[in-house]
Every structure is written in C-alpha cells, then in structure tokens.
C-alpha cells in the first residue's frame, strides 16, 4: 500500500469532524514509524521520521485530492474532512482545542438548567501558560520516545488556535487558572463542565450565565435536585468568597439545612465590601450573617 492511501484511510478513522495540523502530523509520524497500515506494509518507505517538507507535500496532496479542505475561519490550520459534517459548533470547538469544554451559559443549557438559548458559545480553557504545559505533556504522551525527533524534524506541534468565531457563531473563551471539572459526553466529541462546577461558575461569573437574577432563578429551580453536587464542588474548589455567596443563597435565601453550608459562615468578613453579584454595583443592603452586600435590586 502506498503512503497516500494509508494517510487517507487513517484520516477516515478519526472521530472528530475536523483535523488540525498536529493531528495530521501525528498520523503521518506513526505511519513512518510503523511503516505499515493495519498490518499492511507501506511501499518505498525507508526513513524513520517524517520531516516538515514531507508533511507539507502530503498536506497539499490531500487538499488537491479533496480529502481535506481548509476551514474558512482558521487560515489553513484546521481542515474539514471529506464527507464529514462539521455543523455542530460545540463538537467542532472541542476538536480544535483539546483542553476546552463548554461552560457558563452553554453548560447550563446543556444540563437543562436554563431555558435561555445562548447566542454565543461559552467555553473555558486554561490560561496560556497552563495550556502550553498541557500541550507538551499531551505531545510527549502521544509520541513517547519519538518526541524529540518529531520536534527536531519541524513537524507541527500542538498549538492553541484563536477561535473568535466558528461559522456564524461567536465564541467566548474564558481563560482561568481555575481549570474546572468537566465530563466527556458519551458518543460525542464534547466536554462539558460538571453540574457542580456549573453552579460554582454561576457565582464567580454571573455575567456569563445570564446575569445574577437569572442565576438566582436557576438556584431556586434546581439547587434542591443537585444540592449534594453543588455543596461538594464549592466545598472542595470554591474560594472563601464563593462559599460566602453560596452560603447566603443556599442557607438564608433558599432555606436549606446543611452542616457543610453552615460551616462556610466562618469565611464571612465583617467590615468588607463583598457583593453577592460579583459583576454588579455595590449596594448598602446587607446579610448580617454572611457579611454580604445584597446587590440584586
């Protein structure tokens, strides 16, 4: 079997609707390394490693044959696969950025916590430094002992791509050092923040979750159903101010009796200017117990 055919067949096995340069480079590298495709030997393949020259030649070949087509939003860094539909923006985004996941209002919609239809796609992804660290770790895992040789031969690396828009959908990517818990959706190329983390995100960034009034509506409608998940997530990963806000909502506003929630009152600070709505203006209306400005009015 010749290399061109093996490369096309390998692309056809991908679960993703699109392929980025690194994914293509990884496939080409593995074919060079194995010198076979599914046990069938590849013709006239002597080198152990592909080079950037070979990569560019094979990429042009795939484009000319119609197997790959550059995506218009990504300037020849992401390619549509022949016969694949890339209409699902959520899965597209998770394919392009292996460390992002749906969050905030998009995650709320996925989990059925809101009846609002997000006009934008809300994603979370690590800050640049952490993203790059994760990328190197992923490459070393993918390539093993070949990592250094792969890089030395100028093959494409796993790189963060800008995603201001996919098709007509605007993307809002939230980069944070608090890289949250997410779940992989079975049978789909999709990652979504967990339900507990979604409730925590509502307190941290209500402006990305429909506003604080809507967040209160969601807590009123769904907190009873998911209370153990909410309390566990906030207790484990919430900052003191997150626990104070959650404590006020769950205990004082909604009336839940929970020992862990009550323990969060230790984080209340008298004489401060903490606000229930992190994105709103300060108002001189207080919860005496939680030392929190109730700036919802």
User: Whole-model pTM?
Assistant: 0.88
State whether 234 and 176 are in the same domain.
no
C-alpha count within 13 angstroms, C-beta hemisphere, residue 101 = 22
Cα angle, residue 141 at apex, residues 10 and 26 outer, rounded to 5°: 30
Q: Can you tell me the mean pLDDT for 65-78? A: 89
State whether 250 and 169 are in the same domain.
no
State whether 87 and 122 are in the same domain.
yes
Query: Rounded CA gap, 178 and 265, in Å?
Result: 23
Q: Can you tell me the mean pLDDT for 122-137? A: 95
Last residue of a domain, one of 132, 166, 193: 193
State whether 175 and 232 are in the same domain.
no
Residue at 247 is within a domain? yes
State whether 155 and 40 are in the same domain.
yes
Residue at 198 is within a domain? no
- Residue 53: pLDDT band by 50, 70, 90 thresholds? very high
State whether 61 and 181 are in the same domain.
yes
φ, ψ for residue 72 (rounded to 5)? Answer: -65, -20
Q: In this predicted structure, what is the pLDDT of residue 248?
A: 96
| Low-confidence winner among 80-89, 126-135, 182-191 (lowest mean pLDDT) | 80-89
Residue at 202 is within a domain? no
Domain count, the chain: 2
State whether 65 and 130 are in the same domain.
yes
State whether 150 and 220 are in the same domain.
no
- The answer to whether 227 touches 256, Cβ cutoff 8 Å, is yes
Residue at 269 is within a domain? yes
State whether 125 and 243 are in the same domain.
no
Residue at 93 is within a domain? yes
State whether 180 and 281 are in the same domain.
no
Helices (H), the chain: 3-12, 21-34, 52-64, 89-96, 104-110, 128-143, 147-152, 195-204, 212-237, 240-247, 259-263
pLDDT at 119 over 70: yes
Could you tell me which residue, 73 or 212, shows the higher pLDDT?
212
pLDDT at 47 over 80: yes
C-alpha count within 13 angstroms, C-beta hemisphere, residue 186 = 0
Compute and round to an integer the Cα radius of gyration of the chain: 24
Last residue of a domain, one of 193, 225, 242: 193
- Residue 15: pLDDT band by 50, 70, 90 thresholds? confident
Residue at 203 is within a domain? no
Residue at 243 is within a domain? yes
pLDDT at 239 over 90: yes
Burial class (CB in 10 A: 0-12, 13-18, 19+), 82: middle
State whether 53 and 180 are in the same domain.
yes
Cα dihedral across residues 199, 203, 206, 210: positive or negative: positive
Q: What is the DSSP string of 67-125?
A: SEEE-TTTTTSEEEETT-----HHHHHHHH-TT-EE-HHHHHHHTT------SEEEEEE
Task: Compute CA distances 238 → 165, 280, 293, whole Å.
Answer: 31, 20, 19
Residue at 200 is within a domain? no
Contacts 24+ apart (CB under 8 A), 275-281: 276/212, 276/245, 276/248, 276/249, 277/206, 277/212, 278/203, 278/204, 278/205, 278/206, 278/241, 278/245, 279/205, 279/206, 279/207, 279/211, 279/212, 280/206, 280/212
Residue range of the domain that includes 141? 3-193
Last residue of a domain, one of 193, 227, 259: 193
State whether 83 and 39 are in the same domain.
yes
| Low-confidence winner among 36-45, 104-113, 186-195, 285-294 (lowest mean pLDDT) | 36-45
């Amino acid at each position: 079997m010749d290399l061109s055919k093996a490369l096309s067949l390998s692309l056809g096995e991908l679960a993703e609707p699109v392929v980025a340069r690194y994914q293509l480079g990884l496939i080409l590298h593995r074919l060079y390394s194995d010198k076979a495709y599914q046990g069938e030997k590849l013709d006239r393949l002597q080198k152990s490693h592909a080079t950037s020259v070979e990569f560019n030649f094979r990429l042009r070949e795939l484009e000319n044959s119609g197997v790959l087509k550059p995506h218009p939003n990504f300037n020849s860094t992401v390619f549509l696969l022949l016969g694949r539909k890339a209409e699902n923006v959520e899965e597209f985004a998770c394919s392009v950025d292996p460390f992002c996941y749906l969050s905030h209002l998009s995650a709320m919609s996925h989990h059925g916590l809101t009846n609002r239809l997000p006009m934008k796609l809300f994603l979370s992804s690590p800050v640049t430094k952490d993203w790059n660290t994760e990328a190197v770790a992923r490459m070393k895992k993918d390539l093993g002992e070949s990592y250094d040789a792969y890089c030395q031969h100028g093959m494409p690396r796993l790189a963060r791509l800008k995603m201001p828009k996919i098709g007509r959908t605007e993307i809002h990517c939230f980069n944070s050092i608090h890289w949250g818990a997410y779940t992989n959706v079975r049978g789909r190329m999709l990652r979504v923040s967990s339900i507990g983390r979604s409730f925590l995100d509502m307190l941290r960034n209500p402006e990305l979750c429909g506003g604080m009034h809507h967040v209160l509506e969601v807590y009123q409608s769904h907190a009873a159903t998911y209370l153990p998940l909410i309390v566990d997530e906030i207790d484990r990963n919430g900052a003191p101010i997150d626990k104070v806000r959650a404590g006020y909502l769950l205990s004082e506003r909604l009336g839940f009796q929970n020992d862990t929630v009550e323990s969060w009152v230790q984080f209340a600070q008298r004489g401060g200017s903490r606000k229930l709505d992190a994105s709103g203006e300060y108002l001189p209306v207080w919860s005496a117990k939680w030392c929190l400005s109730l700036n919802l009015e």
